[in-house]
Structure 1
Amino acid sequence: MLYDYRVYGRQYPGVQPGGQRDPDGDSSAAFCPLDHHFARFISRFDAQPEIYHLAAELSKSGREGHICLDLSGKPEYRHVLQNSPVIGRPGEYKPLIADEHCRLYLYRFWEYQEKLAKFVKTMQNAECKMQNDESDEQTAAAMFALKKSFCVISGGPGTGKTTTVAKILALLAQSRKLRIVLSAPTGKAAARLQESISREKKHFLPEIQDIIPKTASTLHRLLGTIPGSPYFRYNARRLLPYDVIVVDEASMVDLALMSKLVQAISPKARLILLGDKDQLASVEAGAVLGDICASNINCVVQLEKSYRFGEHSGIGAASRAVNADDTGEQSLLLLKSNTYADAGWVELPAPNMLASCLKDRIIQGFQPYLKSLQAPLAALALFEKFRILCALREGPYGVFSINQMVEKILGKERLISGDKRWYAGRPVMISGNDYTLGLFNGDVGIALYEKGGLRVFFPSPDGGIRSFHPLRLPEHETAYSMTVHKSQGSEFEQVLLLLPDKDAVILTKELIYTAITRAKESVEIWGKEEIFRAAVSRRIRRSSGLKDRIEKTPV
């Protein structure tokens, strides 16, 4: 059955073919061809115009990170939700599911949510009796986690999440020999977790050190990716062979991946999630860590004390101010006050002045690593000292333009051979996955000369180095600057956050907070005051029923 977009455009203002917006209609109803394709498929089974529109909206909401479409404030759809043959109730097997709160789901998202909620509710009640008379926050958190088969440890940067989990693993390892695995959503986050745990376990007895893993893997590698398939080798029928699973940077894990992970965990195993509930949510649908922390279950530990940022730290003060500020006014005043040497504000230059204003900062930030290109590991370490973070990918203040600008400036200074696509010192970030090469989205490498020509060097999971010919790399891009989303799981000594000159819905409190907390030594924000205030006053709101399902799921 074919559908005339013009008919649906009249029925529902704002709907146009090709995902374009109708300036006279509802700008929120900008559907892309994929949304229309899904809507046409669903309408084969129910040709009501309302069903077409709801299916397109549901597809669009998933692309925007929502688990469901919240229709609780739209009583005009209630009759359709209750009577359409393509919409089922919880427990039924139909393409779409509507719950008692008029939230509409794709069946698979409903199933993911149900399985995750059931796991959380069941595991949070599985306790081991242990004494806890510790006053130290980290040790108290560790003792609390020991009682739980499922535990979330949330905290900002420097609050000691990995120190806490190292204590947990050491205490668990004292009782019996356990099979422990460390994991994170990205290769970079896994490498950081591995480095942190390795540093912490040096304080333990040798026999305890031997039980705690030396390496960490990505979640996809842990579950066993099947090329070309959405399924994993480890699943509900073939469980992971581990007693303790630790997942760092859990805020980056979307609903589908978290649901698949918990289905692959033995009922006798422990799952420990580490993360910062105030950071950006996952790129894909869901805000799993935030929903779990917001629920009333008794398995969440919140670490408050920062051991990295003391009372005189501008980074710490700025991150706390952004979290507590509903208007952006107080955090802006703090950044502009010059009270702290490690956190500052720079008024955004016009696009035609940006290069000249950034020039000195770019040279200062990238020159040290460009002068150390003989040693791959040293170059990679020095490259982590400074990064430009952007909110957007496109536009004069976006990643693409800034990377081109940086290359032009460094080329004029003869720090790189800027007239070629590949040159010694070019930093690249992998933006696709290649399971054969072991290169994954977010991995960062540097091109260096070796006998025979240029090769791109990446850190290996065991702490060493590996290299590839540039032509063998999966999809990638230059990485002098990156989006704030891509920076999750990474830390840099110095961060320069570049905000756009126009407001955008992607600019949120969580984005500003995440950017600030990527910095270890200093952060500077370049922006317009009104854009910064708008961002800090805007929170990420993702439609989800996970919190409700966790609280209402019977054990």
Structure 2
Amino acid sequence: SRIVMSAHAINQGKFPDTSNGKKTDFFFMEQEDPAKVAAEIVNLVRNRLPTAYQQPVNQIQVLTPMQRGVVGAANLNLELQKALNPSTIGLNREGYAFHEGDRVMQLRNNYDKDVFNGDLGYVEAVDTEARTLLVNFEERLVEYEISELDELTLAYATTIHKSQGSEYPIVVMPVLMSHYVMLQRNLIYTGITRAKKICILIGTKKALAFAIRNMSVLKRNTLLKERRQPGASSIYACCES
């Protein structure tokens, strides 16, 4: 599997093979304009991938390094909702309109409802008069009042961080310098390894190379541990000079 090989290469600090071929399961699409990347992600999810792989849209997950920006999760969710599930009937909360059929994610643990941070579901029904939503979490129906909708977000796209511990048949992931503050080796590795069958990166090789070189989280954690140890300050000063 090229997904596995690419993930191993990245984990070792090496640039993966990005030569696309008919039989590969790992693709790299070059595009540096964030607006064009966002448009291509919508095209991939709505048209190209369901046609090419005979997979329903709900088998495709968009993962992105950040919430903000043109290719951040917030904007991609709005664009994907517009393309995949347009509707004038919904409940508005926290900048989103939730429509019947929308893919949604629970944002925090709710023990009363027995739903937990990261759980994925689909809006089964919208009652605009009672101002409630019914969400289907793997065949279990959970009702939300409008005051509780801040516990939900659209989940056509989500951050790589939120995807930890999950797997998806097809993953589409933007990799652009506009997200440079979050471009880190471990994050890209996590994103790629969420894909079971197909992984598509779309962005620039410069951004991917930057991420592979950037181990700042690992370095920062190591330095914090060192600083807690006796004589750590002198070790740190020596290494920094």
What TM-score range do you get, normalising by the shorter chain?
0.7 to 0.9
Question: Which residue of 165, 169, 173 maps to 1:489?
Answer: 165
> Which residue identity is paired with 2:134?
R
More strand by share: 2
Look up the SS of the partner of 1:393 in the other structure.
coil
Match of 2:237 in 1: none
1:289-308 matches, cutoff 5 A: none
1:395 and 2:78 matched: no
The alpha-carbon distance between structure 1 residues 337 and 353, as it changes in their structure 2 partners (threshold 3 A), is closer
Q: CA deviation at 1:320?
A: 1.1
Match of 1:457 in 2: 136
Q: How big is each residue's C-alpha offset from its partner over 1:64-97, in whole Å with a ceiling of 9 and x where there is no partner?
A: xxxxxxxxxxxxxxxxxxxxxxxxxxxxxxxxxx
> Which residue identity is paired with 1:348?
Q
Higher Cα Rg, which structure: 1
Look up the SS of the partner of 1:335 in the other structure.
coil
Are the equivalent residues in 2 in contact too, given 1:387–1:480 (CA < 8 A)?
yes
Are the equivalent residues in 2 in contact too, given 1:384–1:492 (CA < 8 A)?
no
1:417 and 2:87 matched: yes
Q: CA deviation at 1:474?
A: 5.2
Match of 1:519 in 2: 195
Match of 1:315 in 2: 3
Identity of counterpart residues, as a percentage?
26
> Which residue identity is paired with 2:202?
W
Q: RMSD in angstroms over aligned alpha carbons?
A: 3.1
The alpha-carbon distance between structure 1 residues 343 and 517, as it changes in their structure 2 partners (threshold 3 A), is same
Q: How big is each residue's C-alpha offset from its partner over 1:453-486, in whole Å with a ceiling of 9 and x where there is no partner?
A: 8511113xxxx52321353455221110000000
The alpha-carbon distance between structure 1 residues 347 and 418, as it changes in their structure 2 partners (threshold 3 A), is farther
- Partners in 2 of 1:342 and 1:474 — Cα distance? 36
Are the equivalent residues in 1 in contact too, given 2:113–2:142 (CA < 8 A)?
no
Q: CA deviation at 1:490?
A: 0.5
1:430-469 matches, cutoff 5 A: 430-449=106-125, 454-459=133-138, 465-469=140-144
Question: Which residue of 525, 528, 534 maps to 2:210?
Answer: 534
> Which residue identity is paired with 2:194?
R
Are the equivalent residues in 1 in contact too, given 2:62–2:171 (CA < 8 A)?
yes
Look up the SS of the partner of 1:531 in the other structure.
helix
Q: CA deviation at 1:500?
A: 2.9
1:335 and 2:14 matched: no
Match of 2:102 in 1: 426
1:123-138 matches, cutoff 5 A: none
Q: CA deviation at 1:446?
A: 0.8
- Partners in 2 of 1:516 and 1:506 — Cα distance? 15
> Which residue identity is paired with 1:385?
Q
Match of 2:225 in 1: 545
Q: CA deviation at 1:341?
A: 1.6
Q: CA deviation at 1:544?
A: 3.8
Q: Comparing both chains, which one has the higher relative contact order based on Cα–Cα distances under 8 Å and sequence gaps of 6 or more? A: 2
> Which residue identity is paired with 2:143?
F
The alpha-carbon distance between structure 1 residues 523 and 346, as it changes in their structure 2 partners (threshold 3 A), is same
- Partners in 1 of 2:126 and 2:166 — Cα distance? 27
Are the equivalent residues in 1 in contact too, given 2:105–2:152 (CA < 8 A)?
yes
The alpha-carbon distance between structure 1 residues 509 and 339, as it changes in their structure 2 partners (threshold 3 A), is farther
1:15-414 matches, cutoff 5 A: 313-325=1-13, 328=14, 330-331=15-16, 334-338=17-21, 341-364=24-47, 385-410=59-84
Q: CA deviation at 1:352?
A: 3.5
- Partners in 2 of 1:399 and 1:475 — Cα distance? 16
Look up the SS of the partner of 2:178 in the other structure.
coil
- Partners in 2 of 1:354 and 1:387 — Cα distance? 15
Are the equivalent residues in 2 in contact too, given 1:425–1:447 (CA < 8 A)?
yes
- Partners in 2 of 1:524 and 1:354 — Cα distance? 12
TM, length-normalised to structure 2: 0.75
- Partners in 2 of 1:424 and 1:437 — Cα distance? 20
Q: How big is each residue's C-alpha offset from its partner over 1:263-283, in whole Å with a ceiling of 9 and x where there is no partner?
A: xxxxxxxxxxxxxxxxxxxxx
Match of 2:235 in 1: none
Look up the SS of the partner of 2:182 in the other structure.
coil
Are the equivalent residues in 1 in contact too, given 2:134–2:141 (CA < 8 A)?
no
Alignment: residue pair count? 211
Which stretch of the first structure deviates more once superposed, 383-392 or 334-343?
Answer: 334-343
> Which residue identity is paired with 2:200?
E
Q: CA deviation at 1:360?
A: 2.7
> Which residue identity is paired with 1:455?
L
The alpha-carbon distance between structure 1 residues 345 and 419, as it changes in their structure 2 partners (threshold 3 A), is farther
The alpha-carbon distance between structure 1 residues 433 and 362, as it changes in their structure 2 partners (threshold 3 A), is same
- Partners in 1 of 2:165 and 2:88 — Cα distance? 29
The alpha-carbon distance between structure 1 residues 395 and 513, as it changes in their structure 2 partners (threshold 3 A), is same
TM, length-normalised to structure 1: 0.35
Gaps of 5+ in 2: 91-96, 230-241
Gaps of 5+ in 1: 1-312, 369-381, 550-555
Look up the SS of the partner of 1:495 in the other structure.
strand
Look up the SS of the partner of 2:181 in the other structure.
coil
- Partners in 1 of 2:83 and 2:39 — Cα distance? 9
